[in-house]
Amino acid sequence: MADLSTDIRYIKGIGEKKALALNKLGVFSLHDLISYYPRRYEDRSSFKPIAMTMSDENVCIQAIVADTPRLSRIRRGLDIVKFRAVDESGSVDITYFNQSYVKDQFVCGEQYNFYGKIEVKGARRSMTNPVHEKSDSVNGVTGRIVPIYRLSAGLNQRLLQQAVRQGLDQCLRFIPDVLPAEVVESCQLAQCGFAYENIHFPADFEALELARRRLIFEELFVLACALGKMREERVRESSIPLKAADMTEFYAALPFSLTGAQRRAIEEALADMCSGSVMNRLVQGDVGSGKTMVAAALIWQCWKNGLMSAYMAPTEILAEQHYVNLSKLLEPMGLRIAKLTGAMSAKEKRQVKALLQSGEIDLVIGTHALFSSDVEYKNLSLVITDEQHRFGVKQRSALISKGAKPHVLVMSATPIPRTLALIIYGDLDVSVIDELPPGRQKVDTFAVDESYRPRLNGFIKKQCAVGRQVFVVCPMVEENEELTVKLKSAQEHAAALAAQFPELRVGCVHGRMKAKDKDAVMADFVSGELDILVATTVIEVGVDVPNAALMIIENAERFGLSQLHQLRGRVGRGEHKSYCILVSDAENEESRARLKIMCDTNDGFKISEEDLRLRGPGDFFGSRQHGLPEMHLADLGGDVNVLQKAQTEAKLLLERDEGLELPEHRALKERVERLFTLSSDSFN
């Protein structure tokens, strides 16, 4: 007897090898299998008379095999099976390449369903390698809307479709509904069983839409409950309140006066830390808004209270940069500061670890190394994570668990529309720095196409001639991606630039390099030993190179708006007039509209709101910029209304049953608890 937790090997047709291939996709149990949603669907629901089909059309036809299939061997490695099939309206030549076994699957005079692309040449129609099955097959893959799944090596659609069909037949009736009945009713959602059945094998497109809406709602609802619960739990967690030292001493030691927004964020965070509850606060501020100073102020406060702080950056190079800058600022005030990163020698690490354990350090700055298992802290009281979208919730908690309920400050430069922030940062309080330090210049932004290349090269030359540096960013090409446009590869592009400008020093960082080599090239650029840096990745988003005044983004249409904004934030950080050039040959309206927004405004929040309006929330979830567990369906889109509705309902439910202890909430509670433990939420 199978249930939801039964291993997928239980399914007919899934042996050891196929099971391993499925495991690769995160599918282990029957529950995983039926939660493995299709990537897209093919509409094979209606049959067309052969004579009505048009060239290049994907169609289903129902036809009788009119002659005995002939197998011929054209040459070594090339077998062909050929026959003709007819219906009342006409005939079609069917050909299979290198599938000699199909010869015996067809019997002359019997009726089959075929799905595939029609080619028309003169009066003749043909189909190559169509999907086929006998017309009287049950649970077939023609004559209906068919699910198409993401595959891994060793799997095929037919196998997965049949496996999911069996999975559904086995356990559809066991699936516990995580949504309370009153929510299903008040939000007019489809029933649970209906949703699972129709997300895989939709009866029609209307049923598919109902199923999708229900399952997206469910995902977001579970997430909202999980975050809401985390928030509840932490509000109840008490900590020893800090005694607020007078900040004027700190402010007086700064080389500039802080903006009103910076001060407000500091005050809000201080109020948390002095309240007796644990702080869990997000500081959201555009690139260059001065978030580091907010962190510095809180570190200083902890030091005044005799407490230790840890500052976690996503990359070596950022850790180094913060280490240099914060040391410059805080050491003269008396703080003892150390660095801990993976790249340090074992001996150096040992020394720092000893100091951390004995509490002889007031601030440690580092990378993931900060929460490796052999690091112990005495009195860790404040944990700061920078650029938090690069850390998963789990990594954050790994560091938090090193202290006894330390205060947590998360800093993010990814502007998130308020509607989404509700969900994404559901477990945090938020301070927004909505003001830039005075005297910041706007980065002039232009969208150009290939025809500007010569002028663009002239501009690079001019900038470098006056001593400025240039960033060039190329999109990362995903593996297995079917490309319709030619993308600039970073390595090729760097080589082309080096040839174009023999007098300039060109460096390149790309995704396949080792972290150490990447950091070395970055360091050369930071120190001014390179004029042009070509990069594929946006790993180094936080890097500060005040001398860089030109940012060129190739195939700009391939980047999300928020990403473009982040990249642009790398220039305009010094006294020099700075420029951002978006190179794109994309002609579609949406791409043009998006690039135009970039040219029109430098305001990150406005850009993110526009992006949300243009593309819907799927992009925000899809880009995994939030550190939350992976969404299955919400990644694919959905709309803001569903998001808000799920959030509201979750809140109402938690008010009624804070701990999800009621028996009717058991399934929900289990899902909520699985959410953060099962998903791999690290994406570094």
Q: Which does 290 bind (CB under 5 to 8 A by kind): Mg ion, ligand ADP, none?
A: ligand ADP
Q: Is 568 in the site for ligand ADP (CB under 6 A)?
A: no
**If we measure between CA atoms, which residue out of 319, 423, 415, 371 comes closest to residue 634?**
423
Q: Which does 616 bind (CB under 5 to 8 A by kind): Mg ion, ligand ADP, none?
A: none
User: Using CB under 5 A, which residues numbered 494 to 553 contact Mg ion?
Assistant: 542
For strands 579-583 and 548-553, give the pairing. Answer: parallel
Q: Quick one: CA dihedral 496, 498, 501, 502, positive or negative?
A: negative
Least separation in angstroms between CB 318 and Mg ion? 8
Q: Which does 437 bind (CB under 5 to 8 A by kind): Mg ion, ligand ADP, none?
A: ligand ADP
Structure tokens at 42: 């093919």
**Residue 166 or 566 with smaller CB distance to Mg ion:** 566
Least separation in angstroms between CB 280 and ligand ADP? 20
Q: Measure the CA–CA gap between 556 and 581, rounded to whole angstroms.
A: 9
Count how many Cα atoms sit within 13 Å of the Cα of residue 269 in the half-sphere of its side chain: 35
User: Using CB under 5 A, which residues numbered 164 to 203 contact Mg ion?
Assistant: none
Least separation in angstroms between CB 292 and ligand ADP? 3
Given the structure tokens 């880009």, which residue do they identify? 623
Q: Measure the CA–CA gap between 320 and 2, rounded to whole angstroms.
A: 54
Given the structure tokens 């803001």, which residue do they identify? 640
- Closest residue to ligand ADP, judged by C-beta, is 290
> What letters, b where the CB count within 10 A reaches 16 and e where it falls short, cover 226-237?
bbbbbbeebeee
Structure tokens at 208: 């598919």
Task: State how far the alpha carbon of 74 is from the alpha carbons of 94, 95, 99, in Å.
Answer: 16, 13, 13
User: Using CB under 6 A, which residues numbered 366 to 425 contact ligand ADP?
Assistant: 413
Q: What angle do CA 65, 66, 72 make, to 5 degrees?
A: 85
The contacts of residue 558 (CB under 8 Å, 6+ apart) are: 475, 487
**Residue 247 or 487 with smaller CB distance to ligand ADP:** 247
**Residue 437 or 637 with smaller CB distance to ligand ADP:** 437
User: Using CB under 6 A, which residues numbered 203 to 262 contact ligand ADP?
Assistant: 256, 258-259, 262
**Residue 170 or 412 with smaller CB distance to ligand ADP:** 412
Q: Which does 287 bind (CB under 5 to 8 A by kind): ligand ADP, Mg ion, none?
A: ligand ADP
- Closest residue to Mg ion, judged by C-beta, is 542
Least separation in angstroms between CB 624 and ligand ADP? 21
Least separation in angstroms between CB 610 and ligand ADP? 21
Q: Measure the CA–CA gap between 501 and 493, rounded to whole angstroms.
A: 12
CB 32 within 8 A of CB 26: yes
Q: Measure the CA–CA gap between 639 and 615, rounded to whole angstroms.
A: 10
**Residue 38 or 285 with smaller CB distance to ligand ADP:** 285
Least separation in angstroms between CB 284 and Mg ion? 12
Q: For residue 628, what is the DSSP state?
A: P
Question: Contact letters (x/-) for ligand ADP, 281-300, by CB under 6 A?
Answer: ----x-xxxxxxx-------
**Residue 47 or 471 with smaller CB distance to ligand ADP:** 471
User: Using CB under 6 A, which residues numbered 432 to 461 contact ligand ADP?
Assistant: 437
Q: Which does 6 bind (CB under 5 to 8 A by kind): ligand ADP, Mg ion, none?
A: none
**Residue 544 or 657 with smaller CB distance to ligand ADP:** 544
Three-state secondary structure readout of 563-631: HHHHHHCCCCCCCCCCEEEEECCCCCHHHHHHHHHHHHCCCHHHHHHHHHHHHCCHHHHHCCCCCCCCC
Least separation in angstroms between CB 157 and ligand ADP? 46
List residues binding Mg ion (CB under 5 A): 542
Judged by the rule CB under 6 A, the positions of this chain that interact with ligand ADP are 256, 258-259, 262, 285, 287-293, 413, 437, 544
